[in-house]
Structure 1
Amino acid sequence: MLPKSRPRGAPALLAALTALLQAAGVTVLVALTTMTALVAVVAVAAPAGADTTWSVVPADANGPDGRTVIDIELPAGQQVTEHIAVVNRSTQPVDFAIDANDGYLTSKGYFDMRPPEATPVDGGSWIKVPDKVTIAAGATTVVPITVTIPQNATPGDHPAGVTASVDAISGQVRVHNRVGVRLNIRVNGTFAAKVTVNDVHTAYTWSWNPFTPGTVEVTYTLANTGNVRLAPDSRILTSTIAGENGWDDTSEAKAREIMPGGSRTFTAHVTGTWPLGPIGTTIMAIPSPAGKPLPGVTAERVAIDTTVWAIPWPQLTLLLLLVIAVLTLRLTSIRRRRRIEKLIILNSRGTPLGT
């Protein structure tokens, strides 16, 4: 089953506004650009009745070759020819525009590509592709892409992508749909896997149950200051007089990369930490290179220490309630004893009760 793209968010809002303008007798044509995440196989259907669906995958000269991305590693000044396969799954011929541009990661760590109107300035500018291809209904066309590394290219990773796209009209909204393949371009040379930890913020959350420890929330930013893609491992340690607690990122998000010059913000929750005054917190990051191993490259661990104070309010409240309860019981016991003593004295004197 191939997913179909529909205008959502801003396109839907613009469509609603356009309808209102049309009701007033005003003709409006709005151009929008939509972008799908670049993965190995993605299919998009244009809005309205065109029902255009297609996919783009890495290929060799004969057709799709089973790869999910195209990895290229060359020294500066070298050239290589790769291929993508564009599969027209529609019931009519389609003209596809072919575009190459720089790649980047979204705030959540997903790969994307700069819009076609943006001029590439890095790896995308090294790629030569045909402007467009016309593909018959149900047919597959292999498109050659030539990557030429400049002589002055800096060593390291230069992400890029190649897309096949079509324009479609949905009402009065023009939507640009594109599907593409990611290119991991790596220029040979001296590689550096480095990361810094910035913008560290810690906070403590108490448990409503005084017999249950609370949670330390740590928000921090990892910045890739090297020249290769990183998939860093992170570990958070908290320390109190009651002992240490640790947190390891076991989520899928930890495998998402950070591009050279890029950064990502993470949030960790260290549970099982008792609020016993100052809580020492250590954030450790290991800048593990993403993709192919890099022999001889040492990824140095980075550690940042910080402290957050946590006063044991639930435990102090419980202690206060216990003290009040004990004092209340004691006062009640004293009053009861005095009442009994008074009754005994009155009874021994023969004084009627209530006198």
Structure 2
Amino acid sequence: MPRIRHALGAVLLVLAIGVFPFASGSAALADDATPPPGDVGVATRPAGPDGRPDNRARFSYTADPGQSVTDQVYVGNTGTERQDFTVVATDALNGPDGAFNLLPTAETPSGLGSWVTFENGQNRIQFSLEPQEVRLLTFAVAFPADATPGDHVGGIVASVVQEGQQVNLDRRVATAVFARVSGDLQPRLTLASFDATFQGDWWNLFGGTLKVLYTVNNPGNVALAANLTMSTATWFGIPAAGDQGGSTPVLLPGNSATYEFDINGVGQWGYLNPSARLQPFADTTDVSQQVLVTPVSRDTVVVALPWTLLIAAAVVTAIVLLLRWRRRRDEARAQEWIAYTEQQAAAAAEAKVRAVAAAAPADS
């Protein structure tokens, strides 16, 4: 278990920075930057067969059930005080938002983490490091004879517990481990749900936003990321907004995650048909681990009423109805006046006739 101190250790720590840091109960992939005096600093970095740090961002293996592989990792103290380290192999999972998480340090793994053993024959090892000191750890990954085909994912976590006045802070840095068991690979992602709502100012006909909420499932046995294309159409399939792209992070087998996406510049066309297309892929530079995956798509219908046009139409309709009512009222009044004048004229004529008739005998 070689230890390298002082100048060489400082060089290796500089090389080690940039993999994956976490704090508290979950681990994310990276490492601590140089801390202020008295702070905790943790770093990990994969190492090659020659014991030198290499450029791998993660540990990646492919093997048959029953086989075993050996590898090395550097763990370093980038802080300014002596620290007690716990290095543990554990299992990975996705959070509800798709974030890559690792089990808490104290939790016993049941998956890939249980396949890993360090120099002490266990899946965790403890030691102390002085400031700027690094330690090269050798570990083995033993693929069980009954391991199921596909990707099994975990991480090598370096943990330092920093004691506080009220709570302890678990400072963790990890490097992900992807172990693929050969056999029948079933790479697949599904869009389990896809919903959208329209948001926008009532007076702005073309400046709305579709708020999309969608859930991606990985029912297969291969860890997959995906490129995402969001589209929106309206009546007769006419595009209502330009295609907008995005991506989803690596989703581990058996996991699901829910994401949000905003489609901007959508008009109030009444009928909107947003859709998503996922093109999954294995997020690795190793050509041998690339797989062909069928794209998946899903759509929904959203009602986006053009309130400005509806209000304008309502005003125009009200004006037209008012004018028609006034015209009918005026026509009715005109008819009434005509009838009245005709009645008065007839009455006057009749009175005149009667007057003439009454005056006739007196003249004779």
TM-score in terms of structure 2 length: 0.71
Summarize deviations over 1:119-174 as a string: whole Å, max 9, x none. 21111111112421232332211011111101111111111111222223212433
Supply the RMSD in Å over aligned alpha carbons: 3.3
Q: Does 1:244 align with 2:233?
A: no
Task: List runs of 5+ in structure 1 lacking aligned partners.
Answer: 9-32, 332-355
Rounded Cα–Cα distance in structure 2 between residues aligned with 1:295 and 1:147: 18
Distance 1:264 1:320, change over 3 A: same
Alpha carbons 1:98, 1:162 under 8 Å: kept: yes
Summarize deviations over 1:87-115 as a string: whole Å, max 9, x none. 12344443311111101233343322101
Alpha carbons 2:87, 2:157 under 8 Å: kept: yes
1:85 CA drift (Å): 0.5
Q: Would you say how many aligned residue pairs link Structure 1 and Structure 2?
A: 299
Worse-matched range after superposition: 291-300 or 88-97: 291-300
Rounded Cα–Cα distance in structure 1 between residues aligned with 2:193 and 2:34: 39
1:227 CA drift (Å): 0.9
Q: SS in structure 1 opposite 2:301?
A: strand
Provide the residue aligned with 2:90 in structure 1. 101
Worse-matched range after superposition: 69-78 or 126-135: 126-135
**Of the candidates 23, 39, 43, which is equivalent to residue 55 of structure 1?**
43
2:159 corresponds to which letter in structure 1?
S
Q: SS in structure 2 opposite 1:153?
A: coil
1:64 CA drift (Å): 1.6
Provide the residue aligned with 2:108 in structure 1. 119
Alpha carbons 2:35, 2:78 under 8 Å: kept: no
Task: List runs of 5+ in structure 2 lacking aligned partners.
Answer: 1-13, 326-364
Provide the residue aligned with 2:253 in structure 1. 260
2:29 corresponds to which letter in structure 1?
L
1:274 CA drift (Å): 3.6
Provide the residue aligned with 1:305 in structure 2. 299
Q: SS in structure 2 opposite 1:191?
A: coil
TM-score in terms of structure 1 length: 0.73
2:161 corresponds to which letter in structure 1?
D
Q: SS in structure 2 opposite 1:261?
A: coil
Summarize deviations over 1:256-281 as a string: whole Å, max 9, x none. 11111111222233344443443233
Rounded Cα–Cα distance in structure 1 between residues aligned with 2:98 and 2:87: 25
Q: SS in structure 2 opposite 1:320?
A: helix
1:59 corresponds to which letter in structure 2?
A
Distance 1:140 1:204, change over 3 A: same
Alpha carbons 2:96, 2:257 under 8 Å: kept: yes
Alpha carbons 1:35, 1:179 under 8 Å: kept: no
Worse-matched range after superposition: 294-303 or 309-318: 294-303
Q: Does 1:179 align with 2:167?
A: no
